[in-house]
């Protein structure tokens, strides 16, 4: 058994010499919340990557020719069983064959486990394509999401963060209706991100921020600023990047990283601040450190992606409205697409068959057909 963390060369070499092996995908710090078992040949863990993307930086890979060895290791490390990949090990759960796959996908265990929806998606009309191109100067194939309006619809009908009166999105709507809550962080915000966004952040860690008397850094962020629709000249003149840096500096401290901070701040400024968890950061080809300047750079990267797909995101928003789904900001829609399209997301394994409508053009292969 071999484990690879921040060692892409070693991991790729192992794949080449163990084509019949197995890969257990985890976070770099092993946790029971993400233990997904794949065959070594699975396209979600074995394919050419675009420049700036990595196999073993955002994730750890534990590899073996013996599947049972990986299952036993996960049990020892976390006390939990692995989850089988829905692409390369269909019809399985926790490593054991199952004839109840539909029931397994319908469970509601865990804060980001997909919910059952009574509304079926109708794949009608032309698919909308969202493209995440490589950054200037990089030579790399783009990430292509085709049929993006249908993927967004699935997300907003099934992801717990988007569904129901106690969801993250419902909390955002309540907050935006109350100007007093919009310009300060309260204890309920922490509950909201823990409840359906899998944040697992401590109320105690946030206490010094919540009890602060100075909210000038948050008030300085105009609620009307839009990450994608604000023109470059207006963005520069308003010094929005500098205000974002001040905001991150005011909230960053031990135990509070970019993922949980942006989850909380998105509640306050849903048109401006995206949720930059590890999956979204990887999808846009960004790389962040503990330095808030890298967080601002990641915001700039996703701003560029959103502006390049602005017409498409507006069309997706109109599609969602037509399906009776409550208004979502363009920032939230792009976040949802990037997150749901990642093999690490809780929704991804339930998208079997999605490659019919979510695929790169033939000229872009060998990108993952589900991305």
pTM: 0.69
In tens, the pLDDT along 283-294 reads 898 889 999 999
The candidate with the shortest Cα–Cα distance to 300, out of 230, 207, 355, is 230
In tens, the pLDDT along 237-255 reads 999 999 999 999 999 999 8
Instruction: With cut-offs at 50, 70 and 90, classify the pLDDT of residue 316.
Output: very high
β-strand partners of 96 = 93
**Strand 96-97 versus strand 2-4 pairing type:** unpaired
In tens, the pLDDT along 2-55 reads 999 989 999 999 999 999 999 999 988 787 778 999 999 998 899 887 666 789
Instruction: With cut-offs at 50, 70 and 90, classify the pLDDT of residue 370.
Output: very low
Per cent of the chain over pLDDT 90 is: 60
What is the mean predicted confidence (pLDDT) over 256-272? Answer: 97
* Cα angle, residue 128 at apex, residues 368 and 235 outer, rounded to 5°: 100
What is the mean predicted confidence (pLDDT) over 318-330? Answer: 95
What is the mean predicted confidence (pLDDT) over 176-182? Answer: 91
N-term to C-term CA, the chain: 29
CB atoms within 10 A of CB 90: 11
CB 65 within 8 A of CB 93: no
The candidate with the shortest Cα–Cα distance to 334, out of 353, 315, 348, 349, is 315
Helix (H) or strand (E) run with residue 264 in it: helix 258-268
Q: Using CA of residue 268, residue 330, residue 111, residue 277, what is the dihedral sign?
A: negative
Instruction: With cut-offs at 50, 70 and 90, classify the pLDDT of residue 256.
Output: very high
Question: Could you give the CA distance from residue 337 to residue 106 in angstroms, rounded to a whole number?
Answer: 21
Instruction: Kindly tell me if the per-residue pLDDT of 225 is higher than 80.
Output: yes
pLDDT at 352: 54
* DSSP code string of 298-364: HHHHHHHHHHHTHHHHHHHHHHHHHTTPPP--HHHHHHHHHHHTSTTSTTGGG-TTGGGTS---GGG
Only one residue has tokens 């999105």, namely: 169
Instruction: Kindly tell me if the per-residue pLDDT of 156 is higher than 90.
Output: yes
| Contact residues for 135 (Cβ-Cβ < 8 A; gap 6+) | 52, 285, 301, 304
The candidate with the shortest Cα–Cα distance to 208, out of 254, 146, 170, is 254
* Cα angle, residue 108 at apex, residues 105 and 113 outer, rounded to 5°: 70
| Contact residues for 18 (Cβ-Cβ < 8 A; gap 6+) | 40, 63, 65
pLDDT at 356: 35
Tell me the two tokens of residue 194.
């823990």
pLDDT at 4: 94
Phi, psi torsion values for 109, nearest 5 degrees: -80, 140
């Amino acid at each position: 058994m071999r484990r690879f963390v921040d060692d892409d060369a070693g991991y790729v070499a192992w794949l080449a010499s163990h084509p019949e092996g197995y890969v257990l995908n985890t976070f770099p710090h092993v946790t029971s919340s993400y233990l997904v078992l794949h065959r070594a040949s699975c396209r979600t863990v074995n394919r050419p990557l675009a420049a700036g993307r990595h196999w073993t930086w955002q994730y750890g890979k534990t590899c073996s020719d013996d599947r049972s060895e990986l299952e036993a290791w996960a049990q020892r490390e976390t006390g939990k069983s692995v989850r089988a990949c829905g692409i390369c090990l269909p019809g399985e759960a926790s490593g054991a064959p199952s004839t109840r796959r539909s029931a397994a996908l319908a469970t509601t265990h865990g804060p980001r486990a997909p919910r059952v929806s009574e509304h079926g998606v109708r794949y009608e009309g032309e698919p909308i394509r969202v493209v995440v191109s490589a950054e200037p100067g990089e030579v790399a194939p783009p990430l292509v999401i085709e049929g993006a309006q249908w993927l967004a619809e699935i997300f907003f009908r099934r992801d717990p963060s988007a569904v129901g009166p106690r969801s993250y999105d419902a909390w955002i709507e309540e907050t935006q209706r109350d100007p007093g809550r919009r310009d300060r962080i309260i204890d309920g915000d922490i509950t909201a991100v823990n409840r359906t966004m899998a944040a697992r952040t401590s109320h105690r860690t946030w206490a010094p921020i919540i009890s602060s008397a100075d909210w000038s850094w948050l008030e300085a962020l105009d609620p009307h600023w839009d990450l994608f629709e604000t023109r470059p000249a207006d963005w520069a003149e308003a010094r929005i990047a500098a205000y974002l840096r001040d905001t991150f500096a005011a909230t960053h401290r031990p135990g509070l990283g970019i993922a949980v901070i942006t989850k909380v701040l998105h509640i306050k400024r849903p048109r401006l601040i995206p949720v930059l968890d590890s999956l979204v950061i990887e999808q846009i080809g960004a790389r962040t450190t503990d330095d808030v300047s890298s967080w601002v750079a990641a915001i700039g990267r996703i701003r560029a992606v959103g502006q390049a797909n602005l017409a498409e995101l507006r069309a997706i928003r109109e599609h969602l409205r037509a399906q009776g789904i409550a208004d979502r900001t363009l920032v939230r829609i792009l976040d949802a697409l990037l997150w749901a399209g990642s093999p690490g997301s809780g929704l991804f394994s339930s998208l079997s068959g999605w490659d019919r409508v979510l695929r790169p053009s033939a000229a872009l292969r060998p990108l993952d057909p589900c991305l």
